[in-house]
Structure 1
């Protein structure tokens, strides 16, 4: 889902933030904390930026939170330099090209290519990318069914024995490979960690709490899992580390209690965008990534 296809809920959410006067611009660079900390650059889409998770920083339309996993990780690692250029709606094309932003269909400026934040001195890079390239949020929204006797949307996406979303995901492989190669070329001394996406819904779903029929719930999560596998394979093949956040997410999907869930369902119960990590999820992802860094 590229920015021009941003869903209504995200447009209205960021518009509310604008109305509240929570505007900002540019990259956020943390003050030096320790000579031993990394020079850290965070790249990615809305899973990384944390839209509607308090508090906002940077361009409003990017939905970048001061409590996303990158900010929490930078604090934990005492980063000497920190640039968070994650942005809602970003796809791999926005790593190397500027991204036009909009709020409610109204132009809201442009942000530089995310790779512009990388330097030869960068020593740590995290990347979360892929969901917008294959349009997973749009598919999830399309699959909402309020009628328990409706035809599963899986039938549409797999008609004729052709898995349309699966094909999109396989076609994404060279894009994530090129992204990792691009990071390596610009920051040859950096440790590069590429995350997957979380567990969004348990097997069989939980209709009507989350309005996806059981076959569709399983299909949607299977596509997230397929995307994770492609990301993992390409990361390993191109000299980066894969960070699994789906495995540790078991028991924290959108079907769980408000206090237990790390991701929101179709209607948010936390200050976070629907179908995205909430504050608990971003904190959990920061811990998972931080523990992987510390364990090596």
Structure 2
């Protein structure tokens, strides 16, 4: 469950009836959503598939795919959602390989298995888990290194958390990061090409990650209303810009891959700078150790820096706007 929890080619245009250029498609658009815990919106309850192994994906019933679908329906654009296969803990290669669930709970099929020949829209995001963002967080936090529901290990447990800025800016830490970015880029390219192979007529939309750390990182030294822990717990102040740059570089790589592959990109990072984990009442990201809406045997699971309901709605807004523009073009 911990792993599931956190975690953390060319395309043909959709046919538009003659004389209706710029109008919404008259027929429902066969759509598949894919992704990791940021698409599944880990932390928001209730959760889908509680009666079977897919419940371990912690896919919220009202994840942003569901909210975006309703938003579009209100505008006369109907998505025929063939599947939402987003799953907490998914790495990019789980797009084409089955994903092992924690505690021997079973597996979920490769996400590409949901694609059909008639699928016309594929939307979602992957990359953060392959980059190893949890490992980065644990490298920078003693509290996160303690036994918890958050999976993964620090990149180098022998290096103290207080020195993580230096670790990631030089030597082995920088080398590790550079390798992980290359891996993300190569695997995302493969995932996008597979979408075109299995669904030749599909428009593809790759969704980036919302911003976690604000430009003014000093805001992160104030707890959110009603909270006692700082948004990033004990992550050193000088390491917060490192986290932000890591996320920005991931976002830029995702955008580049999408552009190079002829896909669309939703730049959430660029639209959520005022709703980071450190924006108090306006935060769209739950703090690392802030209680989420999920319980496990009576214990509340922390957000671990995932979008809360406000953040989910911001995701849905941007994704729906991109889909509307795409389908009306």
Taking structure 1 as the reference length, the TM-score comes to 0.82
* Higher CA-based Rg: 2
Question: C-alpha displacement at 1:184, in angstroms?
Answer: 0.7
SS at match of 2:268: coil
Task: Trace 1:132-151 onto structure 2 (pairs within 5 A).
Answer: 132-144=129-141, 151=162
Aligned equivalent of 1:154: 165
**Alpha-carbon distance between aligned partners in 1 of 2:138 and 2:210, rounded to the nearest angstrom:** 17
Partner of 1:217: 240
Q: Secondary structure at the match of 1:89?
A: coil
SS state of the match for residue 32, structure 2?
Answer: strand
Indicate which of 184, 187, 193 corresponds to 1:181.
Answer: 193
1:22-74 Cα distance to aligned partner (Å, 9 max, x none): xxxxxxxxxxxx96221110111111011130110032210101111111122
Q: Aligned residue for 1:131?
A: 128
Structure 1: how far apart are the matches of 2:34 and 2:172? 36
Find the residue that maps to 2:106 and give its secondary structure: strand
- Extract unaligned runs of 5+ from structure 1: 12-33
Contact 2:3/2:101, CA 8 A, preserved across alignment: no
Is 1:165 the equivalent of 2:177? yes
Native 8 Å contact 1:252 1:260 kept in 2: yes
CA deviation profile, 1:181-228 (whole Å, cap 9, x unmatched): 000111111111001111101132523623322221000110110011
Q: 1: distance between equivalents of 2:86 and 2:165?
A: 31
Offset at 1:94? 0.9
Please name the residue that 2:283 is paired with. Answer: 261
Distance 1:6 1:270, change over 3 A: closer
Per chain length, whose mean CA-contact separation is higher, i.e. which structure has more relative contact order (CA < 8 Å, sep 6+)?
2
Are 1:197 and 2:202 an aligned pair? no
Instruction: Specify the SS of the correspondent of 1:66.
Output: coil
Match of 2:118 in 1: 121
Residue aligning to 1:54: 45
Pairs within 5 Å for 1:29-40 = 36-40=27-31
TM-score normalized with structure 2 length? 0.74
Report the secondary structure of 2:323's partner residue: helix
Gapped runs of 5+ residues in structure 2? Answer: 8-24, 73-77, 144-160, 223-229, 295-302
Q: Does 1:73 align with 2:68?
A: yes
2:96 equivalent in structure 1: 96
Query: Are 1:63 and 2:58 an aligned pair?
Result: yes
RMSD: 2.4
